[in-house]
Structure 1
């Protein structure tokens, strides 16, 4: 493990009298957690994206604010749902964010997970999908997005191009353009097949918080196989740059009596879970909670954590800035160094040497 960051689901809502957050407070807390994490040397601040829910949604304003307030930490998503995106507008936003952040970007993108709305992407104006899950339009739009951020012409210049030096009829690319942005795009893969496809495309792999497979193997072993298939497909496709791979886990070091009260596990809570999502029998990862020495041994035995270069810690963001920074500090001081991590002093990890 060369890098670790936090993954926030950005929940808000509920009664303020019972600790519920407003959307405004959630966003400000997200920025403050990111600033504090940057000061701790944490490598990444990543945010989930959901629509029609009291969670983080369109992420670019938040990511831009975090990038502007921090110096070294990578900012990103896990993941942006392409069913809801205009691929060309998204390409403009992504390039602008990459330039604002000086390359400190890790944009996780995918078909997306189940949402509260029934075919909610159609309410955003994106119709025509013949797949009940919208995977067809997500892939089509993602392909357009990739072409756009690589500088392909996406429109034809007018006969008299207004405020442009372009020749009439020439191809126009999306602006602004960030030449290296393609190296900072991750596909969120929930199966071994999608991981292989990601490898063939030469993108980074963001292994999902769940896998739409249940073979009886542990979540970590399933993910490790997924990662190996990804890397094999990457090499066989002839890509020569260094790919990156991330996995996410819920990890709560117990260092104080308060930690034990908040995060102590009951019997049966520390095992993988099997459930049905999107019609697939799926495997959900376990939660790790324990004293640092115990966590170190457990995470060393987690094949996927060992195979990945980046670990994203899912945090209870609605619990406030101080508690979340306490969790990150406990992990940074008592667990992460034994897994190969060193505090971030220069910027994001640029590639995996595995």
Structure 2
């Protein structure tokens, strides 16, 4: 493990007098947690994206604010739901964010997880999907997005271009462009098929918090197999750069009586969970809770954690800034170094040497 970051769902709601968060407080907490994590040397601040729910939704304002307040930490998503996106507007936003962050961007994108709304993307104006999950329009829009961020023409200039030095009817690409942005795009993969496709495309891979497979193997072993499929497809496609792979886990080190009360016995599952998502039997990962030596042993035995170069720790964002920074500090101080991590002093990790 060369890098670790936190993954926030950005939950809010409930009565503020009883500890509930407003949307405003959640966003300010997210920025403050990111600033504190940057000071700790944590590598990444990543945020989930869901619509019609009381949690993080529109990521670009938040990521821009985090990028402007930090120096080294990578800012990203896990993941943007492409069904809800205008691919060209997202391309403009992503390039602008990459410039604001000086390249410290890791945009996870995917077809998207199940949402609170019934075909909610249609209310955003994106109709025509023949797939009940919207996978067809997500794939088509993602392809357009990839073309746009790589400078392919998306339209033509007017016969008399207004406030432009373009020749009449000349091909036009979106602006701004960020030359290295394509290297900062990750696809959220939950199956062998999507892992293979991601490798063929030459993208980075975020292995999902749930996998649309359940064959009796552990969550970590299933993920490790998908990582192998991804890297093999990447090599066979002839890509010459070095891709990155992340996995996410819930990990709570127990170092005090308070930790034991908050995260101790009975708070986390003892194993993986099996459930039905979008009509598919799926596997969900377990929660790791224990003293540092115990966690080190368990995570060293987790095949996917050992195979990936980046670990995303899911955090209870609604618990506030102080508690979440304590969780990150406990992991950074007492667990992560034994897994190969060193504090971030220079900026984002580039590539995974295991695949060089």
* Interval of TM-score (by shorter of Structure 1 and Structure 2): over 0.9
For residues 106-161 of structure 1, the C-alpha deviation after alignment (integer angstroms, 9 at most, x for no partner) is 00000000001000000000000000000000000000000000000101011111
TM-aligned CA deviation for residue 17 of structure 1: 1.9
For residues 74-109 of structure 1, the C-alpha deviation after alignment (integer angstroms, 9 at most, x for no partner) is 000000000000000000000000000000000000
> How far apart in 2 are the matches of 1:306 and 1:285?
15
Q: Which residue of 1 aligns with 2:128?
A: 128
> How far apart in 2 are the matches of 1:232 and 1:101?
31
Q: Which residue of 2 aligns with 1:349?
A: 349
TM-aligned CA deviation for residue 6 of structure 1: 0.1
TM-aligned CA deviation for residue 4 of structure 1: 0.1
Matched, 1:294 2:322: no
Distance 1:182 1:268, change over 3 A: closer
Contact 2:8 2:317 in 1 (8 A): yes
TM-aligned CA deviation for residue 268 of structure 1: 7.9
User: Any unmatched runs of 5+ in structure 1?
Assistant: none
> How far apart in 2 are the matches of 1:353 and 1:309?
9
For residues 188-221 of structure 1, the C-alpha deviation after alignment (integer angstroms, 9 at most, x for no partner) is 0011110000000000000000101000000000
Q: Which residue of 1 aligns with 2:144?
A: 144
Q: Which residue of 2 aligns with 1:27?
A: 27
Q: Which residue of 2 aligns with 1:109?
A: 109
TM-score normalised by structure 2 residue count: 0.99
Matched, 1:188 2:188: yes
TM-aligned CA deviation for residue 247 of structure 1: 0.1
Q: Which residue of 2 aligns with 1:39?
A: 39
> How far apart in 2 are the matches of 1:255 and 1:278?
39
Q: Which residue of 2 aligns with 1:320?
A: 320
Matched, 1:14 2:14: yes
TM-aligned CA deviation for residue 269 of structure 1: 1.9
TM-aligned CA deviation for residue 267 of structure 1: 9.0
Q: Which residue of 1 aligns with 2:209?
A: 209
Q: Which residue of 1 aligns with 2:284?
A: 284
TM-aligned CA deviation for residue 169 of structure 1: 1.1
Q: Which residue of 2 aligns with 1:265?
A: 265
SS at match of 1:243: coil
SS at match of 1:314: strand
Q: Which residue of 1 aligns with 2:303?
A: 303
Contact 2:268 2:287 in 1 (8 A): no
> How far apart in 2 are the matches of 1:103 and 1:269?
37
> How far apart in 1 are the matches of 2:267 and 2:93?
46
> How far apart in 2 are the matches of 1:336 and 1:134?
38
TM-aligned CA deviation for residue 291 of structure 1: 0.3
Contact 2:82 2:138 in 1 (8 A): yes
Q: Which residue of 1 aligns with 2:55?
A: 55
Matched, 1:332 2:332: yes
Greater Cα shift, 246-255 or 256-265: 256-265
SS at match of 1:80: strand
> How far apart in 2 are the matches of 1:48 and 1:103?
20
Mapping of residues 223-238 of structure 1, within 5 Å: 223-238=223-238
> How many pairs does the alignment contain?
354
> How far apart in 1 are the matches of 2:182 and 2:270?
37
Contact 2:268 2:286 in 1 (8 A): no
TM-score normalised by structure 1 residue count: 0.99
> How far apart in 1 are the matches of 2:190 and 2:219?
12
> How far apart in 1 are the matches of 2:176 and 2:228?
35
SS at match of 2:353: coil
> How far apart in 2 are the matches of 1:116 and 1:37?
30
Distance 1:216 1:166, change over 3 A: same
Distance 1:332 1:275, change over 3 A: same
User: Any unmatched runs of 5+ in structure 2?
Assistant: none
Greater Cα shift, 10-19 or 331-340: 10-19
| Over 6 Å off, 4+ runs | none
> How far apart in 2 are the matches of 1:32 and 1:321?
7
SS at match of 1:221: helix
